Structure 1
Amino acid sequence: MANAAKAESPENAACAATAQTYTAHVDTFARDHLPPRELWPEFVFSRPELQYPQQLNCVTNFLDRWVAEGQGDAPCIISPEVSYSYRELQALVNRIANVLVNSLGLVTGGRVLLRSANNPMMVATYLAVIKAGGIVVATMPLLRAKELAYPIQKAQISLALCDGKLADEMEKTKAAAPALQRVVYWGNGKPDSLEALMADVSPEFAAVDTAADDLCLIAFTSGTTGDPKGTMHFHRDMLAVCDGYAHNVLRAKPSDRFIGSAPLAFTFGFGGVLFPMHIGASYVVLEKTAPDELLAAIERDKVTVCFTAPTAYRAMLGKLASRDISSLRKCVSAGETLPKATFDAWHKATGLKLMDGIGSTEMLHIFISAVEDEIRPGATGKPVPGYEAKIVDDEGRDLPPDTLGRLAVRGPTGCRYLADERQRKYVHDGWNITGDTYLMDADGYFWYQSRSDDMIVSAGYNIAGPDVEAALLSHPAVAECGVVGAPDEARGTIVKAYVVLAPGSEGSDALVAELQEHVKREIAPYKYPRAIDFVTQLPKTETGKLKRFALRQLAAAGAGSSGLAAE
């Protein structure tokens, strides 16, 4: 982006002016640590549904309006422990907001760390912080003190709300994160618990009249490479992903009931809550979201819309015979590439087409996908209405169809890192460069090849690891796999696969040869894995994404299956 004038499209002139004329934030730390304006991506608000007023608090749209419109008794949050209607959730959110402001000293613009598994209180605290004009920084329940200290110090967080079950690591964090001044727990039954503070508090709270571009969320990336990056999102962004992807592609109904496996600490998971609340639908929230728990909840609660990763859909396939999931009508797959073999198997077993999509923490949610009747198996899809996408080379020049290159995207959401020089790498000439290698066909469909650093160059050939993974996954003996480049004296780099076998299969030299021949039959023979290690598990982020960089490190060090709990 050449200058600040490009930071907003003409359609967004009003929102651009908002940044200079109004903010509800008293604590301006986050606003002050946005990237320089000239490093922002260009924001595009060309569609009618993406026009927003200069002042809005997104929680009003997600929660308060349903009560105001007489739908307060409709189911909102459902869980095995406790469920809430929209009216009941509003009262809980309001009480928490009153505690935040009147008892805990939260001022508008203040950051609040949230730490919990997926449960109704996590949803309520999330909404309460935003409604009170604060900024949420949600974290994974499995993070350790050292990992928690990083976002606390980076975002200068003084207050945390935490599930009492996770107190041990939270208490250890205090010593490592001097910025943190107070932690309030819920669910521990103590006199200073969040529930105790809420006991005599009013269930009325007027949403702070925030600006559309006031920050409400700092979502830290999962840290697959380097230190996690704090991605900064506005109130209007929360609505934009609903009015864009959810409205135009997902096309759910108020009668739908959602479920998802992704942690609410990550934007893919939080979107699964926002989407139903945007249309007055309901959401089933589970603390344990393994395939068995997902299937049980789908059957018990008659879920109609499911959000999870390809690996979960693949794991559920073998368990469908004992479950009634006939209520399902839409299944969204994201978080990692969707192999065609998984798409085909799920479609055959259920009659449902997995709706693939690519999103990122930087973009908040899905920006390329396809509605069910336009899906091409194996392709991610087309840009979500309101977004634009193209393929560029390393210098940012446009590439023609059917040419491998870097994916560039822009729309109503985009990357703004919290005080991070990596902003310069992610945004180029107003476009978000996602770090994915794609090609676009002549019809405008985008086909995922790999992460940009997952491309394997072997004996002069460019080989995308996910291509090989998809071929291996189509073999019945393979449950999961990860493919990376490994150093080789003769060829420079060879294709190496780490394979988790399906139950009943045993690793052997004969099976290695069988899998290699299978890959040669499925894709171009030169792509076959010249080395295969059988392992019991693969390294993954807490969102379930494969840590290919960890596999690359093992391969580079010459580590075999011993590095990954070999069979």
Structure 2
Amino acid sequence: MYPGTWAAQDPDKPALIMSGSGEVLTYGELDERSLRLANHLRARGLGAGDVVALLSDNRPESYEVYWAALRSGLYVTAVNSHLSAPEVSYIVSDCGAKALVVSAALAGTVADLEVDVAERLAFGGAVPGYDAYDAALAQAGAEPLPEQPHGDDLLYSSGTTGRPKGIKPPLPQIAVDEPGYLYPTMFAPSYGFDQSTVYLSPAPVYHAAPLRFGGVIHTVGGTLVMMEHFDAEAALAAIEEHRVTHTQMVPTMFVRLLKLPAEVREKYDVSSLGCVVHAAAPCPVDVKRKMINWLGPVLHEYYASTEANGATAIDAETWLAHPGSVGRPLLGVLHIVDEEGAELGPGEVGTIYFEREARTFSYHNDPDKTRATEHPEHPGWTTVGDLGYLDEEGFLYLTDRKAFMIISGGVNIYPQEVEDLFTLHPAVADIGVVGVPDEDMGERVVAFVQPADGVTGDDALAAELTEYARARIAHYKVPREIHFRADLPRTPTGKMVKGKLREAYRDVAVGQ
């Protein structure tokens, strides 16, 4: 099913509500406007397999573009709205977009783009060089499409370990109103999404999980409440106002919620919540336990990637019996593999592979990186480079990204473990840990810390944090250096951009 299904049944039902402005997009409007845009793009020569790129803040039009693509066999590439003009230009060019739709709120970035795209539309205001989005829709007409082959997304990795990679799945061989698309099939029954669902999306729409989960809500006929941007107290207010039943957050959002004063958290009625999904980054055990103590056993975690090569899932009750685990397979068969490709036993850390019947993705324009994801002896096994281990019962535990692992004196150190240690420390607002070259040990552990409001980042605080760590983890894992910053480079979905931390350390080293 898709928005047209629900528009025929209840055209006035809200498909999307903006939590800040209160703006509403009904199912009737979403169906008609996405159809008009699909007609417009088809008239401009876009056909099945072509790409429409979207550069937008969180606005209702983003889902009009999404559904226009999915109902006409197109790929939609939602571009990170926080990127610089050269970074956006790279993605729009690399994906081969034949159309680019932008928000006028990003006019400054748009003005500096260097892209060769014939069809350009802008919504939310005038943008030089771009046709008016609403005018194009008005002229397009709303006659039904002769056929509606299912499209898909072609999204780019966040670039935390290097240049973003385009992740291109094969197009689903179904019509948009036929069952079988991966995300509704996998997640709707897992989390109880249906017509009664009111889903709060607090994250940027360009990211894979918010974009896809919002689409899932529209396939089941629920209502998507989208925040313009995340604010901890505003999220609680939105849950109370809209009687939100489901939401999805990332661990950094949990931390911000938990650091609200108790009287702030307690003044909002969040009893409507029946399911709080979290993913995107490992959640520190203490953080998750506090969330369960506050909200009850409504937390559901999954581990997956934009590549969608596999997934695991775990509910709150099971997690309490297996704290720290991200669950057992929801999609694919799990294998933990060593550097030589041999499968490892329970408790042994290695690279995580998922086994599927067929390859589910490729990296756009990069066959070498695509091949590098495959197991040398089992082509059906693929990895995105994460490390972890299985316990005796087959539950998966993450340790870190392979690219982030620090090898100091021949010993493996996982930065995530060190970062988790400090997550709820009252003097720490945020922390990122990296390995830097060391002549003696090969690498040494370095931490960048954003002090909490009102806390001074100085030698005294560094000494306090060092002693705190030495009392709780092995001494070889304790950061040898702590550097303080006003803020740290996280993506809006909570992932630390380790490359920028390493660049920051090079600047520090030059200044020493």
Superposition TM-score, scaled by structure 1 size: 0.80
Higher relative contact order (CA 8 A, sep 6+): 1
CA contact (8 A) 1:407 1:436 kept: yes
How many residue pairs were aligned? 491
State whether structure 2 residue 392 is matched by structure 1 residue 442: yes
Instruction: Decide which of 321, 324, 328 is 1:382's aligned counterpart.
Output: 328
In 2, the alpha carbon distance for the partners of 1:560 and 1:480 equals 22
Q: Provide the secondary structure at the position in 1 that maps to 2:303.
A: strand
State whether structure 2 residue 368 is matched by structure 1 residue 424: no
Code of the aligned partner of 1:304: T
- Cα–Cα, structure 1 residues 323 and 115, in superposed 2: closer, same or farther, change >3 Å? same
State whether structure 2 residue 428 is matched by structure 1 residue 478: yes
* Cα deviation, residue 423, structure 1: 0.6
- Provide the residue aligned with 1:9 in structure 2: none
- Provide the residue aligned with 2:177 in structure 1: none
CA contact (8 A) 1:415 1:432 kept: no
CA contact (8 A) 2:335 2:355 kept: no
Unaligned runs of 5+ in 1: 1-60
- Provide the residue aligned with 1:112 in structure 2: 52
State whether structure 2 residue 345 is matched by structure 1 residue 400: yes
In 1, the alpha carbon distance for the partners of 2:33 and 2:73 equals 17
Q: Where does 1:21-170 land on structure 2 (aligned, <5 Å)?
A: 61-68=1-8, 70-79=9-18, 80-102=21-43, 104-170=44-110
State the Cα RMSD in Å. Answer: 2.7
In 1, the alpha carbon distance for the partners of 2:511 and 2:492 equals 22
In 1, the alpha carbon distance for the partners of 2:58 and 2:291 equals 26
Q: Provide the secondary structure at the position in 1 that maps to 2:403.
A: coil
Q: Provide the secondary structure at the position in 2 that maps to 1:180.
A: coil
CA contact (8 A) 1:132 1:207 kept: no
* Cα deviation, residue 257, structure 1: 1.0
- Provide the residue aligned with 1:361 in structure 2: 306
- Provide the residue aligned with 1:23 in structure 2: none
Superposition TM-score, scaled by structure 2 size: 0.88
The Cα offsets for residues 375-419 of structure 1, whole Å up to 9 and x where unpaired, read as 2331111111x3211101123221111001000013477331112
Code of the aligned partner of 1:78: I
The Cα offsets for residues 84-140 of structure 1, whole Å up to 9 and x where unpaired, read as 3323321221122222223x3323332111111121111111111221222212112
The Cα offsets for residues 52-109 of structure 1, whole Å up to 9 and x where unpaired, read as xxxxxxxxx22223345x344443211234213323321221122222223x332333
* Cα deviation, residue 189, structure 1: 6.1
- Cα–Cα, structure 1 residues 494 and 129, in superposed 2: closer, same or farther, change >3 Å? same
State whether structure 2 residue 192 is matched by structure 1 residue 251: yes
- Provide the residue aligned with 1:494 in structure 2: 444
In 1, the alpha carbon distance for the partners of 2:77 and 2:390 equals 35
Post-superposition, which runs of at least 4 consecutive aligned residues in structure 1 deviate over 4 A?
189-192, 560-563
- Provide the residue aligned with 2:247 in structure 1: 306
In 1, the alpha carbon distance for the partners of 2:510 and 2:200 equals 36
- Cα–Cα, structure 1 residues 299 and 460, in superposed 2: closer, same or farther, change >3 Å? same
- Cα–Cα, structure 1 residues 360 and 433, in superposed 2: closer, same or farther, change >3 Å? same
Q: Percent sequence identity over matched residues?
A: 30
Code of the aligned partner of 1:367: A
In 1, the alpha carbon distance for the partners of 2:442 and 2:456 equals 30
The Cα offsets for residues 324-377 of structure 1, whole Å up to 9 and x where unpaired, read as 33322222222211111211222233324533322212117x712213332233
Code of the aligned partner of 1:131: R
- Cα–Cα, structure 1 residues 95 and 487, in superposed 2: closer, same or farther, change >3 Å? same
- Provide the residue aligned with 1:283 in structure 2: 224
In 2, the alpha carbon distance for the partners of 1:207 and 1:468 equals 56
State whether structure 2 residue 508 is matched by structure 1 residue 559: yes
CA contact (8 A) 1:62 1:278 kept: yes
Q: Where does 1:162-201 land on structure 2 (aligned, <5 Å)?
A: 162-173=102-113, 176-177=114-115, 179-188=116-125, 192-199=131-138, 201=140
In 2, the alpha carbon distance for the partners of 1:171 and 1:369 equals 43
